[in-house]
Amino acid sequence: QKATWSKLINDPTLSADGHQVELAANIGTPNDLASVLDNGAEGIGLYRTEFLYMGRDQLPSEEEQFEAYKQVLEKMKDKPVVVRTLDIGGDKELPYLDLPQELNPFLGFRAIRLCLDQQDLFRTQLRALLRASIYGNLKIMFPMIATLEEYRQARAILEEEKQKLVEAGVQVADSIEVGIMVEVPSTAVLADRFATEVDFFSIGTNDLIQYTLAADRMNERVSYLYQPFHPALLRLIRNVIQAAHHEGKWVGMCGEMAGDPVAIPILLGLGLDEFSMSATSILPARHQIKHLSKAQAESVVEELLNMDTAEEVVNFVKKNFPIS
Ligand code: PEP
Ligand code: MG
């Protein structure tokens, strides 16, 4: 298997009937890059910047962040690098921010909510990103967007920081795509409205599943409800992809689901453009997609969307797309 896969390192990702998609990697630190390139990633679909902020006793400086972002962009050359702005809260804490304990951290003060409130922290990160933008192909992504106002406010702050840098004579890339994670059901439902304003979407299924089925992703007692193949979730994903394509925007997925061999035929059939996963899943996924027909996947998906349960979905996919 390994030998067959490794031949695919420099290949584009094409289905048996010639449809091209992008396979990207999720990373947490610049140290993950070696494995990304060794595994034939076509880009970074999710750079989780939280790790820069964790395991220390104060915020990372703008300079420190700039160095990390620059390093990732330079190593990836002209390949796309989607950097997610700080997604802290939920299961990830920063003791030095001294935030009050919450009863429902996953429904609380996290990610973009915190960044829009603590703007110094947010603006510092954005400046570091903007300054690093000239070293590669940077795309910026905001996490946990639940309303259009949040997106507009975050984007306005980004534009402000960019303007200030340009006025100060600092070089910034001309066109940086700005997108959002779709991990809150309100945003998946309203995707048509978001699609006119964002440059891209990346579906964060790890959270979208927990919020859609109201099942805490850390709670084992309700893990039976954590169902990636629930028809409701598939319909939300379809809605996001259709809305984006209607506006000529692209859609990625950076939740665990994107690298799952059972999910891949479904996502291909739904028209997902970019699949972002752990680096070691990339070559097996490329091999799998090479043997899948997009046209067949589309017709299977039509049936899945009318099913009642996740179990039916999984059985039907496994029957139609045996995994070699
Ligand atoms: C997600 O929610 O799918 C995601 C990729 O973000 P995280 O796992 O970091 O919450
Ligand atoms: Mg998430």
Please identify every residue annotated as catalytic.
254
Which residues neighbour 94 within 8 Å (Cβ) at sequence distance 6 or greater?
Answer: 53, 54, 88
Pocket test for ligand 1, best of 47, 48, 113, 276 (most atoms within 8 A of CB): 48
pLDDT at 157: 98
pLDDT at 120: 97
Nearest to 139 by CA among 276, 284, 240: 276
Place of tokens 């996924």: 285
Sign of CA dihedral 256, 257, 261, 265: negative
What are the angstrom distances between the C-alpha of 247 and each of 105, 153, 270?
A: 34, 21, 16
Q: Going by CA atoms, what residue is nearest to atom 1 of ligand 1?
A: 204
Tokens of 25: 């990697």
Q: Per residue of the chain (324 residues), what is the pLDDT tens digit?
A: 778 888 999 999 999 999 999 999 999 999 999 999 999 999 999 999 999 999 999 999 999 999 999 999 999 999 999 999 999 988 888 999 988 899 999 999 999 999 999 999 999 999 999 999 999 999 999 999 999 999 999 999 999 999 999 999 999 999 999 999 999 999 999 999 999 999 999 999 999 999 999 999 999 999 999 999 999 999 999 999 999 999 999 999 999 999 999 999 999 999 999 999 999 999 999 999 999 999 999 999 999 999 999 999 999 999 999 876
pLDDT at 6: 87
Tokens of 59: 């915020």
Please tell me whether residue 324 adopts helix, strand or coil conformation. coil
Place of tokens 């030095």: 96
Which residue positions form the known binding site for Mg(2+)?
A: 183, 207
Report H helices in 7-56. 33-38, 50-53
- Per the CB < 8 A criterion, the answer to whether 45 and 202 are in contact is yes
**Ligand 1, CB within 6 Å, residue ranges:** 46, 48, 87, 183, 204-207, 254-255
Which residues neighbour 292 within 8 Å (Cβ) at sequence distance 6 or greater?
Answer: 15, 16, 264, 265, 268, 321
pLDDT at 215: 97
pLDDT at 142: 98
Question: Residue 173: exposed, middle, or buried by beta-carbon count in 10 A (0-12, 13-18, 19+)?
Answer: middle
Q: Give the integer Cα–Cα distance in Å for 292 and 15.
A: 6
pLDDT at 93: 86
pLDDT at 91: 81
Whole-complex ipTM: 0.99
Q: Give me the residues paired with residue 140 across strands.
A: 83, 178
Q: Give the integer Cα–Cα distance in Å for 295 and 297.
A: 5
Q: Going by CA atoms, what residue is nearest to atom 8 of ligand 1?
A: 206
